[in-house]
Chains A and B, each alone.
Chain A
């Protein structure tokens, strides 16, 4: 309780205190790094994933982590003498594909120079050679950090006047229209919730290549175990069905809703409504549901489009399965012929973690 009140008061007080300009900041860099973390890992035990690991990055020649499959362009950049330091990283992170043309890194770049400086500072903490220089900078900026953190706190809802409502407990306050609009972004199959806007297949291809292809593949075929988005038609009764937007998803609204709320992975809410229309249009194109590259998807024509598998979803009827419908007392003795045989062993395809075998199991997600 005290904490709430105190931070409320502080928030007001801090408004008149100028926030000290500060040098590159590790903590802020850690936040920025979340954008990178979808593909890169750093720190103890970091391994190369979609992107190479970033431990001991400084002084590393570009494109030289063993076992990581770089683009030819990145390897060539390294061979031409580029190695990673504060200066090259700064240039690279602003517009990766301008600095190394043909880099496989799909990330569009960090727009704010402070973000670039902070994420570099953060990466230094995972570099044996650089880590010592970071400590002092961190100490200098600590004070500024505290002030910024407090300045960031908005006035608490509890301090606002309490509008009347008819609830029994008279708790909470009425949400403003802007607040509801900021969070209420869900879209239903009947089109309720769709924002006004539009985007074409051709625009979507560019956006998809920049934002989505790094995980989902150039044609929606997926990289590694990231979700496959296209193809798989007529595979739902196969041994290994391919469940994609075109083969499985019942509604197009789900595509728009999900891309807008959660994609790109690690940089959610960064696409405009028109961008999402364009990407959705491109996904229809990748799934052969529209065939014209000039096709424009908009809030006007959105609900005209139906996905092929819509009719194949049925209600939960588990209770009617034979083993559930039969509610008689279960057998207790001599229920099977003797002896019971083992028909399958986990050891045959041992995919238990730490097993030395190659993992071959099917994914759950």
Chain B
């Protein structure tokens, strides 16, 4: 093991350590396999257990789980970020995923009062305020409205918020993992509001959750009547409890905190409510002491998910895949560029898979790695013409105390041995 690799391992996450060790062990096996090669690879030349003995029957797992060899692919938290695990956050393991859809069990969690457990038979959604008739819906009522299916990313406004003062966390799970993307099935919010009859003085909607934090956010009526959904399914199945079962609000392209989970009430009013999560939190303090409020839109952003600190290159030089995600609250991603030399020169990446408005986009850059150090970056552009800024550009405009809305270009330092570190560059 080289000194550099050892250094990295010492300070590395346990999962990364396991991954690297597996990679190194694999490499060793290949090296000693030279002599045996004439005889052939034993997993081919010898009959394996799974090739001889019967496997489990169909009902061994009535609800299927990932292969036991994928048990390291889990959400993880950063304990020091918050006071307590009940009002806290964990992160999507982006470095282990591909495509644009996040599996339900891996979507990051953020709660303010823990996961509310609600029997759908006991759940009600109320609409009150500036409406012709305040209404109460049961879940059964909601499922009788016409439904839509839409793929959207959900990103916490604080995603990458720990990186404002500089490179801090070694892993894109931690630097960028407060994002996920699923297909939602739900009722356009517009239908529900129209059912109650919004008065002409109604300019804002307050969404409220049924959890122990009774989470609330003010949403302008234009957005509420545009593309918001009241969703009860994600990726085809019922919402997971931690994602708001039985019903949550979907506010496409806007910060995750507004996507109120366990949605129980929508109030129509003529002014915003200045709730805790839109005053003391989710406002962006600038260097001059002023703070921006109502910064709802999630800006154009991208990150390389592999290689990254938790997913080093273990195969050595030669044909290599750089894979990553790009997204924008403005709509579709128009283009993603990749740099191997810290932003000096850029190459257009290949976006593959569906390109949907306000959804994650998957990009790849396939190339021959010569085995030398790289400073890899990705830069996204959206259909509205916005270009992902550098971290230094953001700091110049805002200072380092904004917490939220850090969409700066991420740099990973790939070393000759394939280990990867989170760095910042000149």
A→B interface (CB under 8 Å): 1, 3-4, 7, 34, 37-38, 49-50, 153-154, 156-158, 165-169, 171-175, 179-180, 183-184, 186-190, 215, 224-227, 236-237, 239, 241, 243, 245, 248-251, 253-254, 257-258, 261-262, 265-266, 268, 312-318, 321-324, 327, 330-336, 338-357, 359, 361-365
Residue of A nearest to B342 (CB): A340
Given the known inter-chain contacts A336-B426, A353-B13, please indicate yes or no for A7 contacting B141, CB distance below 8 A.
Answer: no
Q: Is the CB of B124 within 8 A of A361?
A: no
The 9 A-B residue pairs whose C-beta atoms are closest, nearest first, are A340-B342, A167-B195, A346-B422, A323-B389, A225-B83, A175-B134, A359-B80, A236-B289, A165-B133
State the Cβ distance, A161 to closest chain B Cβ, in Å. 13
The answer, among A174, A253, A365, for a CB contact under 8 Å with B135, is A174
Q: What count of chain B residues pass the 8 Å CB interface test?
A: 122
Q: Is the CB of A321 within 8 A of B397?
A: yes
Given the known inter-chain contacts A157-B124, A330-B381, A354-B14, please indicate yes or no for A314 contacting B421, CB distance below 8 A.
Answer: no
Residues of A within 8 Å of B14, CB to CB, are: 354
State the Cβ distance, A283 to closest chain B Cβ, in Å. 12
Q: Is residue B191 contacting chain A, with contact meaning CB distance below 8 A? A: yes
- Chain B 53-94 near chain A by CB (<8 Å), digits 1 or 0: 000000000000000000000001111111110110100000
Residue of A nearest to B425 (CB): A340
Other than A4-B140, A37-B114, A173-B135, give 17 A-B pairs with Cβ distance below 8 A: A169-B145, A227-B83, A236-B289, A249-B279, A251-B274, A254-B274, A254-B275, A262-B212, A340-B375, A343-B426, A346-B169, A347-B7, A353-B13, A353-B174, A364-B158, A364-B403, A365-B81
Segment among B21-29, B294-302, B357-365 that sits at the interface with chain A: B294-302
Residues of B within 8 Å of A189, CB to CB, are: 274
Q: Is residue B201 contacting chain A, with contact meaning CB distance below 8 A? A: no
The CA-CA distance from A174 to B289 in the complex, in Å, is: 47
State the Cβ distance, A28 to closest chain B Cβ, in Å. 14
State the Cβ distance, A227 to closest chain B Cβ, in Å. 8
Q: Is the CB of B194 within 8 A of A168?
A: yes
Residues of A within 8 Å of B89, CB to CB, are: 364-365
Segment among B95-103, B242-250, B263-271 that sits at the interface with chain A: B263-271
Residues of A within 8 Å of B344, CB to CB, are: 334-336, 338-340
The CA-CA distance from A89 to B387 in the complex, in Å, is: 61
Q: Is the CB of B279 within 8 A of A250?
A: yes
Q: Is the CB of A186 within 8 A of B293?
A: no
The CA-CA distance from A92 to B113 in the complex, in Å, is: 26
Q: What would be 7 A-B contacts, judged by CB atoms less than 8 Å apart?
A: A1-B140, A167-B194, A174-B135, A188-B274, A241-B401, A323-B390, A346-B169
Q: Is the CB of A330 within 8 A of B379?
A: yes
State the Cβ distance, B164 to closest chain A Cβ, in Å. 8
Q: Is residue B315 contacting chain A, with contact meaning CB distance below 8 A? A: no
